[in-house]
A and B are shown apart, each in its own frame.
Chain A
Amino acid sequence: MLTNDVVSFIIVLMRSLRRTRRVLQGDLARDIALVLLADGIVGVSFGAIAVGSGLPVWLPMLLSLLVFAGAAQFLFVGIIAAGGNPVAAVLAGLLVNARHVPFGFAIGDVLGSGWRKWAGTHVMIDESVAFALAQHDAERRKAAYWACGVGLFVCWNVGVALGAVAGTAVSDTAALGLDAAFPAVLLALVLPSLRDKATAAAALVGVAVALVATPVLPAGLPVLLALLALPIALVLRGTRAPATVHAGESRESGRHDDPAPSGEATGEETSCPSR
């Protein structure tokens, strides 16, 4: 009985893997692989930093398996290592992860049902959401989400385990510039959506609000405040012809058609912070 379930599970898994591989054409597969590699190295540094700051080896590994959210994990470990209250560490982590609620609304259709929904929910993370949103058609969206999500889960956990056990091999990801890679990945994936001028305007306001709020609010909250700009986009779009342009309209990740709004956004995001 159990064996039958396992066998059918494996068959379904193999089928969906084959389908995913067919849909993942060269470019998309390569782009995702690069993100997996970069995040794997960041994982090594996370493991090394956690153990290096005096925490037990199992802690970063357990966090990566069960929580699987980079920013929240760094924050949690940072607070605990500094002798902070575990309750504060948990609350900070949850606050940082609150953005997954709207993420889930936006990409809920790629999850499917049954065990796929359970597993797919766990691998919902900035990169997999961004890759999904950047795809044109439903099948590619699904393939991008799953390949990035599952791939990241594996690479992140392997990286963290290596870092935790092997120690400080790559503790300084800043020297490799990997701290610039994460925002660049998200920026490249989100640029096609900013082709829509109303979205670009709202994004500019949202980024500004988040940056201004950062020194005064706890981590995680400033990013959520960017949602205050949502009505701007909705109103701007509502006053024009029925909006058709939104995320997922670009044919390929990393290629963009209208440089104007994205150029503005880039300028804002990299200008001096208001501080």
Chain B
Amino acid sequence: MSEQIILIAAVGVLAVGTYALRACGPALRERVRLPQRAEEAMTLASVLLLAALVGTAALIEADGFAGWARPAGVLVGGVLAWRKAPFVVVVLAAAATAALLRLAGVP
């Protein structure tokens, strides 16, 4: 019972904290009039974070190498995106490549 309360409290703290993190940017934007250059830097920062997410999500699973199937799938998707394939093709090809490689025994 008390274990349940601790769990609920933990979820609550994480939820409030996460909302606060999300609200930070918009709130500060309203109060401080950012110069054009700073706005640009924030957009750049988001792009860098998303790129880093792509890299880590493609290659890493629980602090270790995720295996070859996943990065191979992302690579196929990336090449297709680079060659201007439609978004749907990019995503489905990435998933299909990883799934087929695993079917063939590649981890």
Within 8 A of B (CB), among A63-98: 63, 66-69, 72, 76, 78, 80, 86-87, 89-90, 93-94, 97-98
Q: Is A174 an interface residue (CB 8 A)?
A: yes
Contact partners of A190 in chain B: CB under 8 A: 47, 50-51, 54
Interface residues on B, range: 35 or more
Q: Is A243 an interface residue (CB 8 A)?
A: yes
- Bits for A209-235, please: 1 = Cβ < 8 Å to B, else 0: 111001100010011111101100110
Interface residues on A, range: 35 or more
Contact partners of B81 in chain A: CB under 8 A: 184, 187-188, 191, 254, 256, 262
Contact partners of B60 in chain A: CB under 8 A: 211, 214, 273
B73 in contact with A184 (CB, 8 Å): yes
Among B12, B45, B62, B69, the residue within 8 A (CB) of A180 is: B69
> What's the Cα separation between A234 and B47 when bound, in Å?
13
Q: A: which residues have CB within 8 A of B?
A: 27, 30-31, 34-35, 38, 56, 59, 62-63, 66-69, 72, 76, 78, 80, 86-87, 89-90, 93-94, 97-109, 111, 117, 121-122, 124, 126, 129-130, 133, 174-191, 193-194, 199, 202-203, 206-207, 209-211, 214-215, 219, 222-227, 229-230, 233-234, 243, 246-248, 253-256, 259, 262-263, 265-266, 268-270, 273, 275
